Structure 1
Amino acid sequence: MSVENDSSQIEALTAAGSGFQSYPTAPGYRVNVRSGPGTGYAIIDAIPVGGSVTILCQCPGTTVSGPYGTTDLWDCIGNGRFVSDAYVHTGSDGYVAGRCG
């Protein structure tokens, strides 16, 4: 599975307002945003404490333990922008959005 995202597809979906849902990040945590779905990818940004994210798609990556359990699921929140689902309150242990790629 490719971890590269089709930026034109993501931009089109975002522009179309396709009903993506916003989810809160774990209270008290500043959540790292990485350039790919894993801890080996560069930190490129951070979601501030009390923030939320809009999940465009999800894919497997590095396993991470966080406030919402241990998971290898990563949430794409923009082109080349990923956060571990272990830090996002989706109310599910599985996919809540389509798979990336």
Structure 2
Amino acid sequence: MKFTALATFFLATISPLVSAYPIYKADTVNCRSSPSTSGKVVKTYKKDDDIKLTCQISGETIKGNSLWGKTSDGCYVADYYIKTGSTGLVTGRCNTGGGSSGGGSTGGDSTEMKDDYPYKSNCGPVDKWNYFKCQCTSFVAWRINSRLGISFHNRYKGKAWGNAKEWDEAARASGVTVNNTPKVGAVAQTNAGRFGHVAWVAKVSGNNVVVEEYNKGGTERYGTRTVPKSSFNYIHVRK
């Protein structure tokens, strides 16, 4: 009996703890494939259902709260609807980007490509990161926040990340790596044109990259392109 009790205690101390929290503020809440209301509904929870959170991540802002929880069912619920007792993290941050916490690799990894930008139907004034909505900089700022879980804005690390052509200098001045090596989750940046351009690296394959972007050609719309990797510099906001 002593051995059994000791073994039970030992296992309890090394087993990972996944905390359960109740759903509230709505009778039903959708659990989605990504931390955004544009994500596919994977599961629906009812009010007072206990859900287990495996990690948390920044995503689309719901009622002033941009935090989302990934549940043990593998989908995401807005933190606004989860009674955690905190406005901040109660678990670790989710890893993102091609299955790697480092933002992917050059070996053909990729992230989900879709137009999940929250302002796509509301272009115009300045967004919460202090960029004009539906511009390339606003879209990439959204992706850095939602996919990497980094609180990025146009004064990141005290430097001016204004027009896209300023991002490489701002990155270097901030101690952020800028090089010619693309990785999934990196920012593709060029100084070409009047204001330059930034895009999100979604896939790397051989000598080509697939980028997601907004406002290429002045359209204020989402698009993707496959281009030679030499077309851009690469800013690695997440190391």
TM-score (norm 1): 0.74
* Residue matched to 2:83: 89
Q: How many residues align?
A: 82
* Residue matched to 2:32: 34
1:23 has 2:17 as partner: no
Aligned CA distance change for structure 1 residues 59 and 28 (closer, same or farther; 3 Å)? closer
Q: Distance in 1 between matches of 2:30 and 2:39?
A: 11
Residue type of the partner of 1:73? L
**Larger helix proportion of the pair:** 2
* Residue matched to 1:45: 43
Q: Distance in 1 between matches of 2:37 and 2:16?
A: 29
* 1:48 CA drift (Å): 1.8
**Counterpart contact for 2:23–2:50, Cα < 8 Å:** yes
Aligned CA distance change for structure 1 residues 17 and 26 (closer, same or farther; 3 Å)? farther
* 1:19 CA drift (Å): 1.0
* Unpaired segments ≥5 residues, structure 1: 1-15
Aligned CA distance change for structure 1 residues 46 and 17 (closer, same or farther; 3 Å)? farther
Q: CA RMSD in A?
A: 1.7
- Compare CA radii of gyration and give the structure with the larger one: 2
Higher relative contact order (CA 8 A, sep 6+): 1
* Residue matched to 2:71: 77
* Residue matched to 2:54: 56
* 1:17 CA drift (Å): 4.8
Q: Distance in 2 between matches of 1:40 and 1:27?
A: 20
1:99 has 2:97 as partner: no
**Which consecutive segments of 4 or more residues in structure 1 shift more than 2 A?**
none
Q: Distance in 2 between matches of 1:71 and 1:27?
A: 14
Q: Distance in 1 between matches of 2:19 and 2:72?
A: 13
TM-score (norm 2): 0.32
* 1:79 CA drift (Å): 5.8
Q: Distance in 2 between matches of 1:79 and 1:90?
A: 18
